[in-house]
Structure formats: structure tokens, C-alpha cells
């Protein structure tokens, strides 16, 4: 029997996105427009709209939908921002950001994963995404400063380069901690100072 992905996506949005407190209309609309099942391995597509992380190629993961929504909402995007994403992965978070912001610069360290994400995102019509192979901890100085930075892997500390590449008034969202305990952190740069907020416990792969 064919899976009704549209119905599953609608249920996910109502139950796991809106139902868990996401209010940003840009984020909600992005979830409605982007087919998550395109971004997961074929064998796991029947689970694409469950609120759970899934393994993808090269021992990486695609985050659960609520966490993707929560992290994106925490950036408070209005549609005009230049955003830096560390960790392209499957490209799903990239797609959500590209629907919510003006331009997205995404960095991935695994070339094959970056190529696959670029091919898929291009086929879906995205023209506001810039793809870079490299070390995410170093950010992308040539394209800085950024209005927002989203890091989809955890580290013990926030890399200084990423903080320095934030515009004044910019926001960075990143999981911080070790394998035992991680906290989602939002940092706002204000008049050269970095103000940190804690947004709750999470679990991400490590930033390498």
C-alpha cells in the first residue's frame, strides 16, 4: 500500500510542531512545503514524519522534526537574513533555513554528503543556498558577517570563529556539551558582548 506522505506531514505539523509549541509562521510554512521523506534513506521513508532522528549515510543523522523547528525558531528569522549553517548533513535543515531566511551558507566536511544534499536541494528549486566543503569550526570568514549561525553538531565549547563571524545583533544556536550531556544554547551578540541563553537538553553527533 502506498504511503500518504502528505497526510503524514500534515499530522506531524499539527501534532509535533504546532502541538509542541512552535508558533513562528515561517517555520510552520517551511515544514508544510518541504518533503522530509526525500531527505532520508529509502528504507526509512516510512518513518520520515515520525518525531524522531534517523540515521542517514556516512554515520550521520537527520534530526527529529521538532528539534529542527525549535532550533530554527530560536534564530528569529524574518526572511532577509544571511545565515551560516554548520553541518549540511541530509540537507533538510538547510532547506528549512532557506525557506525562512534570505541566503544560506552551509558547510559540510563530508564531500559525498554535501554533493548529495546539493543535488537534491537544487532539484527542489532552491537558489539561495551556497555550498562549502570544509571545517565547520572555522566558519566562513570570506562571507562573514552573518545575521545568524546554526550549528547542527555538538562541541564542548562554541568555536571563537563562529562568534566572531556574527553581526552585531546576530544570533547563534548550537548544542554544547559532551557525549553524556548536551544543552542547546543561543548566543546573541550585542555591542560586542555575547549573551548566552540555555534552551534545554538535546543530543547531537559531535562537531568534527
Distance between CA atoms of 71 and 74, rounded to whole angstroms? 5
**1 bridge partner residues:** none
User: Which of 63, 90, 123, 143 is flagged as catalytic?
Assistant: 63
Picking from 55, 109, 120, 52, the residue whose alpha carbon sits closest to that of residue 85 is 109
**DSSP-assigned letters across all residues of 56-82:** EGGGEEE--HHHHHHHHHHT---S--E
Picking from 105, 172, 109, the residue whose alpha carbon sits closest to that of residue 136 is 109
Our answer to whether residue 63 is catalytic in this structure is yes
Provide the grid cell at 67.
528539534
- Using the structure block, give the residue that is written with the C-alpha cell 535543515: 93
Catalytic residues: 63
Amino acid at each position: 500500500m502506498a504511503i500518504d506522505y502528505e497526510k503524514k506531514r500534515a499530522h506531524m505539523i499539527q501534532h509535533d510542531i504546532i502541538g509542541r509549541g512552535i508558533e513562528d509562521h515561517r517555520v510552520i510554512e517551511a515544514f508544510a512545503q518541504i518533503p522530509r521523506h526525500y531527505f532520508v534513506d529509502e528504507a526509512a521513508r516510512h518513518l520520515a514524519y515520525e518525531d524522531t532522528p534517523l540515521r542517514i549515510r556516512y554515520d550521520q543523522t537527520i534530526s527529529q522534526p521538532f528539534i529542527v523547528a525549535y532550533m530554527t525558531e530560536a534564530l528569529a528569522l524574518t526572511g532577509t537574513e544571511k545565515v551560516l549553517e554548520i553541518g549540511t548533513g541530509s540537507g533538510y535543515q538547510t532547506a528549512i533555513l532557506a525557506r525562512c531566511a534570505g541566503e544560506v551558507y552551509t558547510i559540510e566536511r563530508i564531500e559525498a554528503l554535501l554533493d548529495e544534499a546539493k543535488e537534491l536541494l537544487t532539484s527542489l528549486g532552491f537558489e539561495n543556498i551556497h555550498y562549502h566543503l570544509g571545517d565547520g569550526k572555522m566558519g566562513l570568514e570570506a562571507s562573514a558577517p552573518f545575521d545568524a549561525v546554526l550549528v547542527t553538531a555538538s562541541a564542548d565549547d562554541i568555536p571563537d570563529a563562529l562568534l566572531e563571524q556574527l553581526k552585531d545583533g546576530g544570533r547563534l544556536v548550537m548544542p554544547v556539551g559532551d557525549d553524556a550531556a548536551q544543552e542547546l544554547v543561543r548566543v546573541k551578540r550585542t555591542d560586542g558582548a555575547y549573551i548566552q541563553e540555555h534552551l534545554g537538553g538535546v543530543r547531537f553527533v559531535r562537531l568534527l
